[in-house]
């Protein structure tokens, strides 16, 4: 069954609205004017930060879904053209070449970035003029839309079709916004081994393999959900070395090496503990990348300083260790699922 939880779509894009409607999602539209950033050498960072900013601008309305899409070629970001002449210029530059479409998607503070590759035909001036006249593409990244007269431009594509339209379905499946297409029920990370893999886990495993990297996990509030999601992907044994489920502080201390002083002073749910958990997992396994999570999934255990839904993430690599904080709304299952997906996203970015 489609999701019944109404969400706010922080976008005026008719294509994103169509994707949600076709998926049976109940939603309302809230257009935002959040300022956008552009990092030509960091397309993933660009779309992730823009998606988060759009979501934050509509956060007062409730649970917000937001997205940002760019076309990327030769370290140049192609956003929406200023006018029809610039649209034609974009199409000339994309003609006969393969570019990448990046979409950052944000929901309840969790983010994912999805990429697809698109190869254009060699375009004549006549074709470009015809396309621009038919589509009026000034509200489309890269000045084109695969869903409207795309056959005039596109020779082939790989990856998510909906991503090229501006809203990939993979993250929405992971977050339970749309039903898992194979199981007929909302996907739940702790039960990932019973169903086909979460799209985010499949993407991670493929990327780790391509770059010759291995990862590990240290989990508290998810109880092994991240490891279950990764190992549900066939072939994950080549890139996933193992994990520690450190539900008790004694395991955090004696297995992962979190100091007793840190646990006493900062607490189990803290930046300091998350960092030491991630370092411990990488040290124990020899992995290139390790992620850790420690949080309060609820329904009990929250305080004004550390509310239910608070999760600290740690990421340890050879370059160093960093932490992130999120406060996820929803019940225990939702908090745990969003935590799993966010952790997979952190691993994916680190493996890129």
Catalytic residues: 68
Find where tokens 């070449």 sit: 97
Q: SS3 sequence, the chain?
A: CCCCCCEEECCCCHHHHHHHHHCCCCEEECCCCCCCCCCCCCHHHHHHHHHHHHHHHCHHHCCEEEEEEEEEECCEEECCCCCHHHHHHHHHHHCCCEEEEEEEEEECCEEEEEEEEEEECCCCHHHHHHHHHHHCCCCCHHHCCCCCCHHHCEEEEECCHHHHHCCCHHHHHHCCCCCCCCCCCCCCHHHHHHCCCCHHHHHHHHHHHHHCCCEEEEECCCCCHHHHHHHCCCCHHHCEEEEEECCCHHHHHHCCCCCHHHHHHCCCCCHHHHHHHHHHHHHHHCCCEEEEEEECCCCCCCCCCCCCCEEEEEEEECCEEEEEEEECCCCHHHHHHHHHHHHHHHHHHHHC
Angle ∠(35,311,10) on CA atoms, nearest 5: 30
Are 218 and 333 spatial neighbours (Cβ–Cβ below 8 Å)? Answer: no
């Amino acid at each position: 069954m489609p999701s019944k939880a109404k969400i706010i779509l922080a976008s005026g894009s008719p294509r994103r609205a169509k994707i949600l409607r076709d998926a049976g999602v109940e939603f309302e539209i809230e257009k935002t004017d959040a300022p956008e950033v552009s990092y030509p050498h960091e397309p993933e960072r660009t779309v992730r930060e823009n998606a988060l900013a759009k979501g934050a601008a509509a956060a007062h309305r409730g649970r917000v879904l937001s997205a940002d899409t760019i076309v990327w070629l030769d370290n140049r970001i192609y956003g929406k053209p200023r006018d029809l002449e610039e649209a034609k210029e974009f199409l000339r530059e994309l003609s006969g070449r393969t570019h990448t479409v990046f979409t950052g998607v944000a929901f309840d503070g969790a983010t994912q970035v999805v990429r697809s590759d698109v190869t254009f035909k060699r375009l004549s001036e006549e074709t470009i003029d015809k396309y621009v006249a038919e589509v009026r593409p000034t509200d489309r990244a890269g000045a084109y839309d695969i869903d409207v007269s795309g056959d005039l431009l596109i020779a082939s594509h790989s990856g998510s079709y909906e991503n090229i339209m501006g809203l990939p379905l993979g993250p929405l499946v992971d977050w339970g916004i749309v039903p898992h297409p194979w199981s007929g029920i909302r996907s739940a990370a702790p039960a990932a081994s019973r169903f086909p893999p979460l799209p985010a886990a499949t993407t991670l495993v493929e990327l780790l393999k391509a770059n010759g990297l291995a990862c590990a996990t240290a989990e508290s509030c998810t109880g092994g959900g991240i490891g279950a999601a990764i190992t549900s992907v066939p072939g994950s044994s080549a890139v996933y070395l193992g994990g520690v489920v450190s539900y008790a502080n004694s395991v955090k201390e004696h297995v992962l090496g979190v100091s007793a002083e840190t646990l006493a002073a900062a607490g189990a749910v803290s930046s300091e503990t998350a960092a030491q958990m991630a370092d411990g997992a990488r040290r124990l396994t020899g992995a290139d990348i390790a992620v850790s999570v420690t949080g309060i999934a609820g329904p009990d255990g929250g305080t004004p300083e550390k509310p239910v839904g608070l999760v600290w993430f740690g990421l340890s690599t050879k370059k160093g260790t960093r932490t992130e904080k999120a406060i996820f709304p929803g019940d225990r299952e939702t908090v745990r699922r969003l935590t799993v997906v966010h952790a997979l996203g952190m691993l994916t970015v680190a493996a890129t």
